[in-house]
Amino acid sequence: MSNTKNVMDDIVWVGADDHRLELFENIYPLPDGVSYNSYVILDEQTALMDTADIAVADTFLANVETALNGRRLDYVIVQHMEPDHSATLGALIDKYPGVVVVCNAKTEVMIHQFFRNDLVLKTKIVKEGDVLSLGHHVLQFIMTPMVHWPEVMMTYDTTAHILFSADAFGAFGALNGAMFADEVDFKDTYLSEMRRYYANIVGKYGMPVQAALKKAAGLDIHLICPLHGLVWREELPFLLDKYEHWSTYTPEEKAVVVAYASMYGNTGRVATKVAEKLSKMDVPVCVYDLSHTGRDFVLGEIFRASHLVLAAATHDGNIFEPMEYLLRDMIAHGVQGRKVALIENGSWAPMAAKQMQTLLESMKDMQIVIPIVSIKSTLSENQEEDLTKLASELMA
Ligand SMILES: Cc1cc2nc3c(=O)[nH]c(=O)nc-3n(C[C@H](O)[C@H](O)[C@H](O)COP(=O)(O)O)c2cc1C
Ligand SMILES: [Fe+2]
Ligand SMILES: [Fe+2]
């Protein structure tokens, strides 16, 4: 059954929600599902903005058919070759033979890599600034390499003032019948999933995102249509401001993320004690047990918050793994410019803090708070004071 929605009179959303996929990119949990967005422009000539994941192929193809309502498909614009948007390209071309694939030269190479000789392609290769007139709508192509693949381009509809933004401004979370961010309680319900998407999928590419934002700043944008999540027609400055913060690794707010890795709970109890002290200082604090909360989720929180408390037990001479993995994720995603307090635990030879410090020092502009608190199994009486000092130095 098809399910299309109008973005405007002549622009139709033909994407699909996916609630069944457990892990996005086979790694990031999807508690609220995900949407693959795709859009048909109905003009003198018709164009499809990207295809969709193989998991939703039937719905997607039915939606395209419904939107076209018997018309021919003239163009499919491929902004990005990651399979979540391109795996159904072959099926689309089979169904609409003669459709012209509009893409850049790098994308064309990738299409052949993914489909080998299975596709008979008619391509129109575009480069930065090229335009394609559909009649009324005139599309302009903007190269945004490494947001988050090398061949990514965005498409600006100069007539309707729409930025088709590829994966930028995308989010986890299915649409569930909504289309526009202003139709939902975005800040309370969707923002954290957009942040988690950004941190994990795009987070590493702050500089390329900055370059894309600079290009976007020169356009008169009224609507942003990403490949995942809601469409933006209001509060664009809010959205752009989030991207400005995330892509420069600037915290959104003064807040503390306390994350701990603890086998038997002793390190966790000390971390929670610090959280209590910080709360009494009127600082917003969130506490995460890294054995329970996914690192991808905590990474999103680290993009939001200004301060961190990292507490880890020593495990076979190393940082207890859930914390080591978080630190490696932070390195991999370019986290920088945070103030961090460290707590370690060990019953005979605590080693975690030194190793956490080494990993933190490989990140840019991380400020490590003195004192580092070293626990032997549980907090001793005279260490209560050290913990108070750690909290106040962190926020100093
Ligand atoms: C499998 C295992 C390996 C450990 N390896 C070390 C170690 O190499 N050095 C050390 O000082 N303590 C080591 N410990 C002890 C813990 O770090 C220590 O008991 C700590 O208090 C545990 O805190 P937790 O209750 O937060 O798990 C190990 C504990 C376990 C269970
Ligand atoms: Fe992608
Ligand atoms: Fe995507």
Atom 21 in ligand 1: residue holding the nearest Cα: 377
Relative to the alpha carbon of 291, which ligand is closest? 1
What residues does each domain of the chain span? 5-247, 256-395
Q: What share of the chain is helix, strand, coil (3-state, %, to 5)?
A: 40, 25, 35
Judge whether 140 and 156 are in contact, CB under 8 Å: yes
Indicate the DSSP class of residue 19: S
Q: Report whether 156 contacts 163 (CB < 8 A).
A: yes
Which atom of ligand 1 is nearest the CA belonging to 320?
17
Q: How many CA atoms lie within 13 A of 380 on its CB side?
A: 9
Q: Are 172 and 199 in contact (CB under 8 A)?
A: no
The token pair at 94 is: 């089979």
What's the predicted TM-score (pTM) here? 0.96
Any atom of ligand 1 within 6 Å of the Cβ of 317: yes
Alpha helices in the chain (DSSP H): 57-68, 83-86, 89-95, 105-115, 191-197, 206-217, 236-247, 266-280, 295-304, 321-332, 352-361, 384-395
Residue 349 Cβ < 6 Å to ligand 1: yes
Ligand 1 pocket residue status of 173, Cβ below 6 Å: no
Ligand positioned closest to the Cα atom of 202: 2
Q: How far is CA 11 from CA 137, 160, 198, 369, 378, in A?
A: 10, 10, 26, 53, 62
196 lines ligand 1 (CB under 6 A): no
Helices (H) and strands (E) in the chain, counts: 12, 23
| Per-residue confidence in pLDDT tens, the chain, 396 aa | 789 999 999 999 999 999 999 999 999 999 999 999 999 999 999 999 999 999 999 999 999 999 999 999 999 999 999 999 999 999 999 999 999 999 999 999 999 999 998 888 999 999 999 999 999 999 999 999 999 999 999 999 999 999 999 999 999 999 999 999 999 999 999 999 999 999 999 999 999 999 999 999 999 999 999 999 999 999 999 999 999 999 999 999 999 999 999 999 999 999 999 999 999 999 999 999 999 999 999 999 999 999 999 999 999 999 999 999 999 999 999 999 999 999 999 999 999 999 999 999 999 999 999 999 999 999 999 999 999 999 999 999
CA triple 38-41-44, angle to 5 deg: 155
Question: What is the distance in A from the centroid of ligand 3 to the CA of 37?
Answer: 9
Domains 5-247 and 256-395 share a fold: no
Type of residue found at 58: D
Q: Six-digit token pair at 310?
A: 């990292």
Comparing CA positions, the residue from 10, 17, 27 lying closest to residue 325 is: 27
253 lines ligand 1 (CB under 6 A): no
CA-nearest residue for atom 28, ligand 1, is 315
Angstrom distance (rounded) from CA 300 to CA 302: 5
| 4-42 confidence digits (pLDDT tens) | 999 999 999 999 999 999 999 999 999 999 999 999 999
- For the four alpha carbons of 287, 186, 303 and 332, in that order, the dihedral sign comes to positive
Mutate to test the pocket of ligand 1, among 263, 373, 378 (most ligand atoms within 8 A of CB): 263
Q: Is the CB of 374 under 6 A from ligand 1?
A: no
Q: Quick one: which of 235, 211, 238 has its CA closest to 223?
A: 235
Q: In angstroms, what is the span from residue 84 Cα to ligand 2's centroid?
A: 7
| Fold (CATH) for 256-395 | Rossmann fold (3.40.50)
Q: How does DSSP assign 311-355, residue by residue? A: EEEEETTEE-HHHHHHHHHHHHTT-BS-EEEEEEE-SS---HHHH
User: Is the domain 5-247 a CATH 3.90.1330.10 member?
Assistant: no
- Closest residue by Cα to atom 4, ligand 1, is 315
Q: Which long-range contacts (CB under 8 A, 24 or more apart) does 368-372 make?
A: 368/340, 368/341, 368/342, 369/339, 369/340, 369/341, 369/342, 369/393, 369/394, 372/341, 372/342, 372/343, 372/344
Q: How many CB atoms lie within 10 A of CB 347?
A: 12
Q: pLDDT for 91-105, tens place per residue?
A: 999 999 999 999 999
